[in-house]
């Protein structure tokens, strides 16, 4: 029986960790894929998990669970499974997204450096200090709205890591070994692994968060209606300029000038909003993931798969109603 917890108060920061204000944390939390070998002590990990579990969920149902993998026997075996899956899926993505072509051929280009970071991440996946499987028991199918009751917890986990000087990345690359993980870790069949979050102490420097200008992403009062008030806010050097980025980097993170927009992410972001309707043909992820007996189960369970098939069935329904309208 778990005692009824206290409902107020927030965790104390560990000694020596400077506070990071909320906006600074939100605007500077990068996807971290390079970790030192330093373990995350129990007390810090407890704080990260506590913060994650404070996330909102629909109707406050709290249907998610965090399965933490560190260095026990089963955890080690699970990390090895994940490492295999990560390497296979990254290799497929590398090929499909042409990481080695175009500017990627120049090893000093952002594209090539990104590929090198990914390569290192997957090669050393088993050494990741902490891996968290964010799981959810869907209570009404596996659509987008159900996912919304687990991903806020993932983001809280990453933000809390930022606050304590750690870093991490949310990934979906457990897909190829989903069934094997269920079996190994005794995860019930009706529980979905919604994300794999890698966590550790960041190694090296991590640059700025690169995002489209806010005006491109915000509409006012109607689809694609500009929001003239949605301007870039005045910026200042962030508070709490320590972990996980050095003060000089954080300073550089908030230049008055517009952030750079390298081709890599712009091209990817543009693909999300194509001029023509989204295709229902399989993505690189579907093509690359080894098909196994677990495949249908994965697809049925996968929040991502469900979102995709929902999109397809919605467009099928639309064209169906269009053709029946045409027939009548
Ligand atoms: C829904 C979602 C899925 C993601 N899947 C992966 C993944 O499978 N592998 C990976 O390395 N990173 C993955 N990421 C991390 C993104 O690539 C990263 O957050 C994004 O590129 C922005 O990085 P930045 O904050 O460092 O600029 C995912 C992030 C999200 C939110």
210 lines ligand 1 (CB under 6 A): yes
Going edge to edge, which strands form the sheet with 130-136? 64-69, 130-136, 192-200, 167-171
* Nearest of 177, 197, 160, 179 to residue 64 by alpha carbon: 197
The answer to whether residue 163 scores a pLDDT higher than 60 is yes
Q: What is the pLDDT of residues 122-152, one digit of tens each?
A: 999 999 999 999 999 999 988 899 999 999 9
Atom 16 of ligand 1: nearest residue by CA position: 31
30 lines ligand 1 (CB under 6 A): yes
| Structural domain spans, the chain | 22-225+245-314
Q: Which residue has the higher pLDDT, 228 or 3?
A: 228
Q: Does an H or E element contain 34, and which? A: none
Q: Which residues pair with 167 in a beta bridge?
A: 200
Q: Which of 171, 208, 211, 271 to mutate to test the pocket of ligand 1 (most atoms within 8 A of CB)?
A: 171
Q: What is the pLDDT of residue 177?
A: 98
CA of 169 relative to ligand 1 center, distance in Å: 6
Question: Is-contact 191 136, C-beta < 8 A?
Answer: yes
148 lines ligand 1 (CB under 6 A): no
* Nearest of 297, 56, 272, 263 to residue 181 by alpha carbon: 297
For residues 275-290, average pLDDT: 53
Banded model confidence at residue 112, pLDDT cuts 50, 70, 90: very high
Q: What is the pLDDT of residues 191-210, one digit of tens each?
A: 999 999 999 999 988 877 88
Q: pTM score, two decimals?
A: 0.79
CA of 8 relative to ligand 1 center, distance in Å: 32
- Find the range with the poorest average confidence among 43-47, 71-75, 127-131, 277-281: 277-281
Question: Is-contact 187 51, C-beta < 8 A?
Answer: no
Task: Give the rounded distance of the alpha carbon of 279 from its chain centre.
Answer: 23
Q: What is the pLDDT of residue 286?
A: 58
Fold classification of 22-225+245-314 (topology level): NADH Oxidase (3.40.109)
Cα 214 to Cα 226: distance, rounded to the nearest angstrom: 11
Q: What is the pLDDT of residues 52-67, one digit of tens each?
A: 999 999 999 999 999 9
- Cα angle 6, 169, 203 (rounded to 5 degrees) comes to 105
Share of the chain above pLDDT 90, in %: 64
């Amino acid at each position: 029986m778990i005692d009824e917890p206290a409902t107020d108060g927030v965790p104390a920061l560990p000694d020596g960790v400077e506070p990071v204000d909320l906006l600074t944390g939100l605007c500077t939390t990068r996807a971290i894929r390079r970790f030192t070998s330093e373990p995350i002590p129990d007390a810090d990990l407890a704080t990260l998990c506590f913060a994650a579990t404070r996330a909102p969920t629909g109707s406050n149902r709290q249907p998610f669970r965090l399965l933490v993998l560190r260095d026990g026997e089963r955890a080690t075996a699970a990390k090895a499974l994940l490492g295999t899956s990560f390497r296979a899926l990254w290799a497929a993505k590398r090929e499909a997204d042409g990481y080695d072509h175009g500017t990627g051929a120049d090893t000093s280009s952002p594209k090539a450096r990104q590929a090198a970071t990914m390569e290192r991440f997957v090669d050393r996946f088993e050494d990741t200090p902490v891996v968290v499987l964010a799981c959810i028991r869907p209570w009404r199918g596996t659509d987008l709205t159900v996912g919304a009751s687990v991903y806020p917890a993932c983001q809280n986990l990453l933000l809390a890591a930022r606050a304590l000087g750690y870093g991490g990345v949310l990934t979906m690359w457990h897909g190829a070994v989903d069934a094997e993980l269920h079996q190994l870790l005794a995860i019930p069949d009706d529980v979905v692994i919604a994300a794999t979050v890698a966590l550790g102490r960041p190694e090296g420097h991590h640059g700025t968060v690169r995002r489209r200008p806010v005006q491109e992403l915000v509409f006012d009062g109607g689809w694609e209606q500009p929001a003239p008030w949605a301007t870039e806010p005045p910026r200042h050097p962030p508070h709490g300029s320590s972990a996980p980025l050095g003060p000089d980097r954080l300073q550089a993170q908030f230049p008055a000038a517009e952030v750079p927009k390298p081709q890599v992410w712009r091209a990817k972001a543009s693909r999300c909003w194509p001029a023509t309707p989204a295709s229902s043909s399989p993505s690189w992820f579907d093509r690359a993931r080894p098909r196994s007996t677990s495949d249908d189960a994965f697809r049925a369970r996968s929040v991502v798969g469900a979102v995709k098939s929902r999109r397809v069935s919605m467009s099928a329904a639309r064209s169906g109603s269009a053709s029946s309208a045409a027939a009548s």
